[in-house]
Amino acid sequence: MNEKTPGAVITAIASVSLVIMVFLLYFLLQEGLPALREVSIRELILGFDWYPTEEPPALGMAPLIVGSLSVTALSALIAIPLSIAIAVFLSEVAPTWVQEVLKPALELLGFLPSIVLGFLGMVVLAPWLQESFDLLSGLNLLNASVLMGAMIIPIVASLAEESFQAVPRELRDASFALGATRWETIRKVVFPAALPGLLSASLLGIMRALGETMVVLMAAGGAALVPVSIFDPVRPLTSAIAAEMGETPVGSTHYHALFFAGLILLAMTLGINLISMWIEKKGKERWMA
């Protein structure tokens, strides 16, 4: 066998990822863009009426986009502070035996299937919310956000912990040597040093929340409206796709609009991914300097 052959084969197989990405973009564009033939982009993105089964369908995705953003924002608000607290705890405060138990447990929690969270939201959290806050329904923005928060805590906390760990030991020692307490060291030295990593960890958590489907499909209530309270139901982009894809005739405007929704999701998550990559790169460069 020629010594060059294996290298060529490996390179060829490696390009499968490139091919998948290209196909992914191609199919989403091919199936999503035809929506613009029937509806203007302005109406599609800024329209507030999502009545896809009407004749002709009203395909304003603003409530869906706002739904996605509101669940993501609220869950980030719940999860990020807690995740960072847990990361600080794991990296700076916890005794070794706690670290040894908690770190793998946290990682394991990251594997919790989202359908399980969605199920708990539906059968446990929803009735409880309904009773305790005297609501008409417990399937709402708050329910989905709490579960989504639980979903992204392991991701954000693990990554944040890594970025705390990456802060050189010497910085802490220097701070202690100057007489600073542990908390002062964390707040004034470790935290600022780890900031790019924390930002990127939070962004990756947000990206995950934005793209998560089952939790919002089962627990968010599913009404395509712009929420004014945390007890209002929402219908994020992901749950609209999952719930409506099967019911619509293949090739209809609604079908294309759902692919367009996928395109919006892809654009948002890719954007966040690129920003977090940029932050990571900046952060690394800082340590190099």
Q: How far apart are CA 126 and CA 130, in angstroms?
A: 6
Q: Which of 104, 173, 178, 192 binds another protein (CB under 8 A)?
A: 104
**Does 59 sit near another protein (CB under 8 A)?**
no
Q: Enumerate residues 117-146 that contact another protein by CB under 8 A.
A: 118-120, 122-124, 130, 136-137, 139
**Minimum distance of another protein from residue 70's CB (angstroms):** 15
Residue 235 φ/ψ region, left for φ over 0, alpha for ψ in the -120 to 50 degree band, beta for the rest: beta
**Minimum distance of another protein from residue 285's CB (angstroms):** 17
**Does 41 sit near another protein (CB under 8 A)?**
no
Cis peptide before 56 (omega within 30 of 0): yes
* Binding pattern for the stretch 235-254 against another protein, x by CB under 8 A and - elsewhere: x--x--xxxxxxxxxxxx--
Q: Cβ(53)–Cβ(246) under 8 Å?
A: no
**Does 181 sit near another protein (CB under 8 A)?**
yes
**Minimum distance of another protein from residue 188's CB (angstroms):** 12
CA proximity to 198, closest of 176, 238, 150, 165: 165
**Does 116 sit near another protein (CB under 8 A)?**
yes
**Does 200 sit near another protein (CB under 8 A)?**
no
**Does 73 sit near another protein (CB under 8 A)?**
no
Strand partners, 50: 59
Q: Enumerate residues 157-176 that contact another protein by CB under 8 A.
A: none
Q: How far apart are CA 172 and CA 178, in angstroms?
A: 10
**Does 46 sit near another protein (CB under 8 A)?**
no
Q: Enumerate residues 19-38 that contact another protein by CB under 8 A.
A: 20-21, 23-24, 27-28, 30-31
Q: Which of 33, 45, 266, 275 binds another protein (CB under 8 A)?
A: 266
DSSP states of 99-155: HHHHHHHHHHHTT--HHHHHHHIIIIIHHHHHHHTT-S-S-SHHHHHHHHHHHHHHH
Q: Cβ(242)–Cβ(220) under 8 Å?
A: no
